[in-house]
Amino acid sequence: MTRILHTADLHLTEDHPERWDALEAVLGAARDHAVDALLVAGDLLDRGGDHAALRPRVRAAFESLDVPVLLLPGNHDRAAYRPGQDWGPRTTLLLGEPVQETTVAAVRVVAVPFPAGEIGFGHVRRDVEERLSAPSRPGGDTAPEATLLVLHGTLIDASAPRIQDESRSDEAGPYFPVRSDDLRALRADYVALGHYHQHALRRLGGLPVAYAGSPAPVGPHALGHRTAILVEIGPGKLELQPVRLPVPWRARIERWLNPFEERAGLESLAAELEEVADPLCDMRVRVDGILAGVSETDLREAADRVRERLAPSFAKLEFDLASVGLDPARADLFRDFRRRLEARLEADRAEGVDRRETVERRALELAARALKV
């Protein structure tokens, strides 16, 4: 059994000590899971020009791990790496263009370093296919148990538009677009990606393709628990396990309050906050809607009580209230719509059609939003 811990996008810089803490958390996870190697799929550093000052500290951190480290250049730190640089005695720089191959135990690793030109994966696909189709790894006497492909770029997949949107590019350019159709037929067992800062796993046919996500919350879109990915490989076996890192993380909740249901909506929000409470979490809550059953002053006071009660359970808990009052004419329109909706749902239930409760909630929300415009 071979174990590899996949991470990326640490964006280390002297200005952000929390990212160095995240690196230590990644190294701790690697030790806890007794991995055979650590794979960094790009953007270890935030700026390539910082490498001379940061390399001794990075090297010391990697040496403390005592297992091989595979280091792929990303779009932020491509300029940091040169052949022959000392990033640690067990660190392998994956610099060979357009494709470099190495091995870890019985696992073959095929890597595409972030390119110098503004190209997409399609420009190097043939080189990758030829390397993946080779009968054995360089210097190996036996066939590998599995093959990992490592890339740093933007996955273009119609079923995962958020990756594309948050990477801000789907054309050939500085973000190295990788189209899902170019990956499906490749003879790899796992594609380890860097660049998108959220954990994301896709399966393209039988091929798992995953972003580990940034170990620290880098950028506004890096929400949720921070993770690395434990890749466990054995004869005929490949398993992926997200490993939660004990580091600060950010979360955002948006809650819409329908008229005449404001207190119930706030109680539901409080219950959700209690469920996710974590002293490492920076939580921002935005409450929107239109008010009829309570005044805006009453709502703010109630929200303040929720925040004061739950704030000790979070690293930070902030509320942004955007609710406004509802005039009597629109209130009557909403009541009438609600009455008609409930009658229709009751008629459906009588005919054996039991619509989910979420359908009713969503319909009421849409009606209320229309009244707020």
Give pLDDT tens digits for 153-189: 999 987 777 776 666 644 555 689 999 999 998 999 9
**Domain carrying residue 197:** 2-244
Residues 231 and 282 in one domain: no
Across the range 299-303, mean pLDDT stands at 94
Residues 315 and 227 in one domain: no
Give the end of a domain, one of 244, 268, 285.
244
Q: What confidence tier does 123 reach under pLDDT thresholds 50, 70, 90?
A: very high
Determine the pLDDT at residue 173. Answer: 59
pLDDT over 70 at 142, yes or no: no
Count of domains for the chain: 2
Residues 46 and 66 in one domain: yes
Label each residue of the chain as H, E or C. CEEEEEECCCCECCCCHHHHHHHHHHHHHHHHCCCCEEEECCCCECCHHHHHHHHHHHHHHHHCCCCCEEECCCCCCHHHCCCCCCCCCCEEECCCCCCEEEEECCEEEEECCCCCCCCCHHHCHHHHHHHHHCCCCCCCCCCCCEEEEEEECEEECCCCHHHHHHHCCCCCCCCCEEEHHHHHCCCCCEEEEECCCCCEEEEECCEEEEECCCCCCCCCCCCCCCEEEEEEEECCEEEEEEEECCCCEEEEEEEEECCCCHHHHHHHHHHHHHHHCCCCEEEEEEEEEEECCCCHHHHHHHHHHHHHHHHHHCCEEEEEECCEECCHHHHHHHHHHHHHHHHHHHHHHHCCCCCCHHHHHHHHHHHHHHHHC
Across the range 235-242, mean pLDDT stands at 92
Residues 193 and 72 in one domain: yes
Is the model more confident about 254 or about 358? 254
Across the range 240-246, mean pLDDT stands at 97
Whole-prediction pTM: 0.89
Which of 280-284, 308-312, 351-355 is predicted with the least confidence, judged by mean pLDDT? Answer: 351-355
Residues 29 and 136 in one domain: yes
Residues 67 and 197 in one domain: yes
pLDDT over 60 at 20, yes or no: yes
pLDDT digits (tens, 9 = 90+) for 195-236: 999 999 999 988 999 999 999 999 888 999 999 999 999 888
Residues 259 and 210 in one domain: no
